[in-house]
Amino acid sequence: MRPRLASFVALVCIVATSVACGGGGGDESAAPRRADTSTEDANTGPGCEHIVASEARRMRRPGEHLVYLVDAFAEPTACYDKISFIFDPGDGPDLPPGYLVEYREPPFLEGITTTAEGFEDARAYLYVELQPASTVDLRFEGSGRRTYQGNLRLALEGTAHTTIVEWVDQYEDVTPENQLDDKVIWIIGLDRRRPFTVDSANQPPRVNVLVMN
């Protein structure tokens, strides 16, 4: 009976050792479980970890030619929420405008109240300034032609952290004779502060704000 008892004890030790190594219980299994289930903060797409993003300001110097906003939309991706602004280059080269994108607290502009700043699901805000850019093409007679026919607030379907994207259409240019200081301003509301980055390209001219998942 003693050899059989020794074999039973050895078997129990082997099973206990296997459970411990496999993270089957106790405090040691807590960290892996949190890592497995916390997908909200994970960039799950291939190459997401190579995207350089932070909470710091992003900016590109304004160009020398006025461009016209023609479209704006938001879409989810594996790595980030992508908010895109598309432009008509007008009489200039096929180049995007300059931009300033940074976290700001409301009020964003003196004398202007936006819907975003009172939106319950928005707890952090990215201020987006595009320059030189306009939504009205004054090359046409009269009061010009409106180039952006979209909504004040973009439709959001499936975005991870973006809760509202609003065009600040109340902003008025105080120096209409100088087109190079014309600005188009948007507010991006997020559920919390997230790392982000900005890229720009041509064909067509565009600026993309990427809010990391």
Check pLDDT > 60 for residue 20. Answer: no
Kindly indicate the confidence band of residue 141, based on its pLDDT and cuts at 50, 70 and 90: confident
pTM of the complete model:
0.79
In the predicted model, what is the mean pLDDT of the chain? 85
Show the DSSP H helices in the chain as ranges: 2-21, 30-37
Model confidence at 35, pLDDT cuts 50, 70, 90, reads very low
Q: Are 193 and 126 in contact (CB under 8 A)?
A: no
pLDDT band at 25 (very low <50, low <70, confident <90, very high): very low
pLDDT recorded at residue 142: 82
Query: What pLDDT, on a 0 to 100 scale, did the predictor assign at position 14?
Result: 38
**% of the chain with per-residue pLDDT over 70:** 79
Residue 135 and residue 184 in contact, taking contact as beta carbons nearer than 8 Å = yes
- Position 43 scores a pLDDT of 63
- Residue pair 147/204 in contact by the 8 Å Cβ criterion: no
Q: Taking 60 as the threshold, does the pLDDT of residue 102 lie above it?
A: yes
Q: Which tens digits make up the pLDDT trace of 148-197? A: 999 999 999 999 999 999 999 999 988 988 999 999 999 999 999 999 99
Rg (the chain; Cα; Å): 26
Average pLDDT over residues 118-139: 97
Judge whether residue 128 has pLDDT over 70: yes
User: Does position 62 have pLDDT exceeding 70, yes or no?
Assistant: yes
Residue 44 pLDDT: 62
DSSP string, 22-61: TT-SSGGGHHHHHHHH-GGG---STTGGG---BSS-EEE-
More confident residue, 102 or 46: 102
**pLDDT > 90? residue 17:** no
Q: Tell me how far apart the alpha carbons of residues 191 and 78 are, in angstroms, rounded to a whole number.
A: 18
Instruction: Answer for the pair 90, 191: CB distance below 8 angstroms, yes or no.
Output: no
Q: What is the pLDDT of residue 74?
A: 99
Cis check for the bond before 204: say yes or no (omega within 30 of 0). yes
